[in-house]
Amino acid sequence: MPEALRRWLPALLLVTVAGCSFLDSEPEGPALPPDMARGANGKTASAWPLSLAKDDAQRRIARLIPSYAKDRAGWAGDLYAAFSALEVPHATQTYCAAIAIIEQEASFQADPAVPGLPRIVRRELEERGERYRIPRLLLDTALEKDSPDGRSYDRRIAALRTEGELNALFEDIIGELPFGRQLFAGYNPVRTGGPMQVSIAFAEQHVQERDYPYPVARKVRDEVFTRRGGVYFGSAILLDYAVPYDQIVYRFADFNAGRYSSRNAAFQAALGRVAGKPLVLDGDLLRYEDGQVSTVASSIEDAALELADQLQMSRPQIRRDLLLEKTAAFGSSPLFQRVFALAEQSAGKPLPRQAMPHIDLKSPKISRKLTTEWFARRVDNRYRGCLKRAG
């Protein structure tokens, strides 16, 4: 049995076919996990019939894509290829989830334009120049040099429109200009991109864990800015993991805040109830520095340590379980189970294993105050619109 399909099976809901015998019904694909198990008509949903041909499936997908999108057939083909490679069930709900993200993030532009990119880049260069004490005159003179595409760097900056162009510019600055590596330490500051705004770090990690279905001309990061690569990696981070949610809006929150953030926020709420004090519900349980777990305890770890006797856990055991926060295993860890047992005893009722992370979104590309909840609700509305297009 394929590993990806095995990950979906624990969340299966059995679908009964009323009014007809099994032999008279068309074989269906696997049932869907709870957060996607309800169709537009409110009935329990399954994947599309196993006998559905590729061309028929792609026609169904194309009908789910908004009418304003250019090359709906091309988008449908890339979505179908991504789902097939990842072994995600072909279903209206799964496709609508990915389509809703694409619509929200890029309005079905493979390489979306970003307003004000020239200003953003010049500010970034000036700030880094000051940090590394590179005279402004030297910086300006270097930018007048011709770049690998024949235009000066200064002209390329002035003409910047899309994230893909921005990524290529920084790659050339790092590789070609004398101070490029000094300014950026060999690190391209473009961290997300493409039609689903995928983390490039996630894409680079993902190809180490499973085969990427397309040839890579230069770097994996370049694939993120293509339609096929952006759709593939975006579908992977959105759908290629099991969650304990019963509403898909929390999967959309995870897409924005990080896998399992909604589950972790529910844990934070439960821990706060037991500790008798409010805790930040941001989905991060440990402290991180430059992407690495810090040895300094977070407020969540401190709160758990204060309850060590009630939890019947030692400091190393609490840290051991918190280190699982980015994985499915944390949900079955002793720390998770014991915190919820104490919280539910206090509340006198079962508590949800999902909560909306409270995170303010910050990025040079964001010009107004937005939150993870705003993002998740917005995508959820688009998801429901997609289900309506399916009839």
Residue 41 has pLDDT above 90, yes or no: no
Please give the model's pTM, rounded to 2 decimal places: 0.84
**pLDDT the model gives residue 117:** 85
> pLDDT category, 185, cuts 50, 70, 90?
low
Residue 103: alpha-carbon gap to chain centroid: 14
Segment 309-327 shows an average pLDDT of 97
**pLDDT the model gives residue 198:** 93
> pLDDT category, 42, cuts 50, 70, 90?
low
What is the SS3 assignment for 271?
A: helix
**pLDDT the model gives residue 205:** 94
Task: Name the one residue in this structure whose structure tokens are 């969650």.
Answer: 243
**pLDDT the model gives residue 13:** 34
Q: Which of 9, 202, 14 is nearest to 89 (CA)?
A: 9
Q: Which of 18, 117, 71 is nearest to 367 (CA)?
A: 117
**pLDDT the model gives residue 176:** 85
Residue 290 has pLDDT above 50, yes or no: yes
What is the SS3 assignment for 104?
A: helix
Segment 47-71 shows an average pLDDT of 96
DSSP 219: -
Q: What CA–CA distance (Å, rounded) separates 345 from 339?
A: 10
Looking at per-residue pLDDT, the higher value among 85 and 45 belongs to 85
Percent of the chain topping pLDDT 90: 62
> pLDDT category, 10, cuts 50, 70, 90?
very low
Q: What CA–CA distance (Å, rounded) separates 326 from 309?
A: 25
Residue 41, both tokens:
């008509």
Looking at per-residue pLDDT, the higher value among 383 and 120 belongs to 383
Residue 102 pairs in a beta bridge with none
What is the SS3 assignment for 39?
A: coil
253-256 long-range Cβ contacts below 8 angstroms, 24+ apart: 253/356, 253/357, 253/372, 253/373, 253/375, 253/376, 255/101, 255/379, 256/359, 256/361, 256/372, 256/375, 256/376
Do 206 and 235 touch, CB atoms closer than 8 A? no
> pLDDT category, 22, cuts 50, 70, 90?
very low
Do 216 and 204 touch, CB atoms closer than 8 A? no
Lowest mean pLDDT among 84-93, 144-153, 256-265, 336-345: 144-153
**pLDDT the model gives residue 12:** 37
Lowest mean pLDDT among 34-43, 126-135, 262-271: 34-43
Segment 36-59 shows an average pLDDT of 84
User: 23-32, 148-157, 250-259 — which one is most confidently predicted on average?
Assistant: 250-259
**pLDDT the model gives residue 246:** 93
Lowest mean pLDDT among 19-33, 72-86, 247-261, 363-377: 19-33
Residue 8 has pLDDT above 60, yes or no: no
Residue-wise pLDDT for 343-353, tens only, equals: 999 999 999 99
Residue-wise pLDDT for 106-123, tens only, equals: 999 988 888 888 988 888
Segment 246-260 shows an average pLDDT of 96
Q: Quickly count: other Cβ atoms within 10 Å of residue 62's Cβ.
A: 18
Looking at per-residue pLDDT, the higher value among 29 and 209 belongs to 209
**pLDDT the model gives residue 366:** 52
> pLDDT category, 178, cuts 50, 70, 90?
confident
Segment 244-265 shows an average pLDDT of 96
Do 241 and 247 touch, CB atoms closer than 8 A? no
Segment 256-260 shows an average pLDDT of 95
Residue 361 pairs in a beta bridge with 370
> pLDDT category, 136, cuts 50, 70, 90?
confident
Looking at per-residue pLDDT, the higher value among 218 and 26 belongs to 218
Domain ranges across the chain:
117-193, 256-347
